[in-house]
Structure 1
């Protein structure tokens, strides 16, 4: 069984994004100004993108590079294909 890398270092960013989303909910409930809400939404999206970038970097460094280091040439291609699939499926 393959050991997956830890993404615990991303929890701080995820907690920040969670706080920003909670802030958006509060702002909407308070009837705050649209531009203020949009600003907070953009900040939350930026925090989530930073998490995504970190997970992506770890995936390439750990999951793909490790397979190449083991001399496995087929498995890295499968992992790259699944990565491209998820990135194109949900946009970037």
Structure 2
């Protein structure tokens, strides 16, 4: 079943296209466009500063989340204690 090396096997060793489609002109045009876009971002915030800002916001969000969780537990505990400490009303007591 195995024929050895078919005729297309030899063609695969060479270049896949007869002529280059991505020329030096294309390369120069892309590099110049990238250079212009890079110049537009030259005044942007440096990466380290941006990372510190993200960490600060993440820390603030974590603090708010933790505070709300603690506050929820504390307030629900207060509600339960309050319900236990309030004596039943006179009209709900059984008559003896």
TM-score, normalised via structure 2 length = 0.37
TM-score, normalised via structure 1 length = 0.38
The structure having more radius of gyration, on CA atoms, is: 2
Q: Report which of the two has the higher share of helix.
A: 1
Larger RCO (CA within 8 A; separation ≥ 6): 1
